[in-house]
């Protein structure tokens, strides 16, 4: 019988699905009711075994349009019930075959409610997912030998190795006076790029290890630090680059998810690991500027605290009061912990992209205008 062995010795049994094998990683849960394909292909999940709290997974099948990167990044997928049939006009294949094709190990018929409660009570922890029967103690030891999420730099695994250009998706944005945006790829999602492309003349995606000098050589009008996996405190080079981008005061900067944390650390805030993280498409965030509550999509296990006095807190999480966003009081810099592009999730935070482009407009003359 297939099983999940947690580092604290707890064992959960189930039925093997997807690819067959043994894999270890940090076990986390996601509360989204749908969007499993976007979750599988979100680079922010690299190195993690994801438990879906919604009981029926795979109902809509899988298609080629809803992927968020070139390949899935999750280490494993845990479900209460894997649908053997799908019913959706966009579906092209069932989830089980997709997991097999992509070499993703799955586990179904698990008591996901008990697993989720265990993680909530004891925190996210390392686990070993096995498609095969065996000595549970051996799998527990494998889990304990697995590096923690704070001991591996996953960003350099998921980031692009060479810069590439993104074409505009909206004909009305391809104008002479449009903006050139550089996106630093910490594990960027396709949906984030689509939102930026829809508002920009030109979008260039660059690797996470690029220096500030290399980024400025592209003469950007705005810079986006993208989402990504892992512990932000490990990204010393990225934090140093962010410091240089900020100090240069050349153009507005937007940070999203991991990019939000990197910007915060560069500006003097501190980061810490959340007990079980925020992962789902239904996280309530209070916008302190508009005085409105936004239902947002999240995927992170770390957060910021102790913001310096030159940063204004703009968003807080209504579940635990953690920092969800800030803006600089003097410089054109803003950042949010959640995913404004959603995918999957509600569209409450879409206006953030318009706020960023308004910052660029108000910060002229811009870099491309000097060419």
Q: How far apart are CA 297 and CA 287, in angstroms?
A: 14
Kindly provide the b/e burial profile for residues 124-136, where b requires at least 16 CB atoms within 10 angstroms of the residue's own CB: bbbbbbbbeeeeb
* Helices 236-248 and 258-266, axial angle in degrees (round to 10): 70
Catalytic residues: 257, 339, 341
Q: Is 70 exposed, middle or buried (0-12, 13-18, 19+ CB in 10 A)?
A: exposed
Cα separation, 171 vs 199, whole angstroms: 10
Report CA 61 to chain centroid distance, whole Å: 22
Phi, psi for residue 75 in degrees, rounded to 5: -80, -30
Which tokens go with 8? Answer: 């604290």
Which of 231-242 are b and which e, b meaning 16 or more Cβ less than 10 Å from the residue's Cβ?
bbbbbeebbebb
Task: Report which DSSP code applies to 278.
Answer: E
């Amino acid at each position: 019988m297939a099983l999940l062995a947690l580092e604290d010795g707890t064992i959960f049994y189930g039925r093997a699905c997807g690819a067959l094998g043994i894999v270890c990683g940090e076990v986390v849960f996601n509360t989204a009711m749908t969007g499993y394909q976007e979750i599988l292909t979100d680079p922010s999940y690299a190195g993690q075994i994801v438990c879906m709290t919604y009981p029926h997974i795979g109902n809509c099948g899988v298609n080629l349009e809803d992927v968020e990167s070139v390949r899935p990044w999750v280490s494993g997928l845990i479900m209460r019930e894997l649908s053997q049939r799908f019913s959706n006009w966009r579906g092209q294949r069932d989830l089980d075959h997709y997991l097999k094709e992509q070499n993703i190990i799955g586990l179904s018929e698990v008591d996901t409610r008990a697993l989720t409660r265990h993680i909530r009570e004891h925190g996210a922890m390392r686990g070993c997912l096995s498609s095969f029967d065996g000595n549970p103690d051996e799998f527990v030891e494998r889990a304990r030998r697995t590096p923690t999420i704070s001991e591996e730099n996953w960003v350099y695994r998921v980031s692009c190795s060479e810069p590439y250009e993104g074409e505009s998706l909206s004909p009305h944005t391809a104008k002479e006076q449009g903006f050139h945006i550089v996106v630093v790829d910490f594990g960027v999602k396709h949906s984030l790029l689509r939102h930026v492309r829809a508002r920009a003349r030109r979008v260039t995606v660059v690797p996470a290890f690029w220096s500030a000098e290399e980024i400025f050589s592209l003469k950007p009008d705005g810079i986006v630090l993208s989402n990504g996996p892992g512990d932000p405190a490990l990204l010393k080079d990225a934090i140093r680059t962010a410091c240089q981008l900020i100090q240069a005061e050349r153009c507005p900067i937007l940070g999203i998810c991991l990019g939000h944390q990197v910007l915060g650390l560069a500006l003097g805030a501190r980061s810490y690991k959340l007990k079980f993280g925020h992962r789902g498409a239904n996280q309530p965030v209070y916008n302190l500027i508009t005085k409105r509550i936004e239902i947002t999509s999240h995927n992170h296990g770390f957060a910021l605290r102790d913001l310096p006095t030159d940063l204004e807190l703009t968003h807080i999480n209504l579940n635990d009061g953690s920092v969800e966003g800030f803006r600089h009081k003097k410089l054109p810099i803003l950042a949010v912990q959640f995913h404004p592009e959603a995918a999957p999730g509600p569209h409450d935070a879409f206006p953030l992209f318009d706020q960023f482009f308004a910052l660029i407009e108000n910060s002229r003359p811009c870099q491309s205008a000097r060419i």
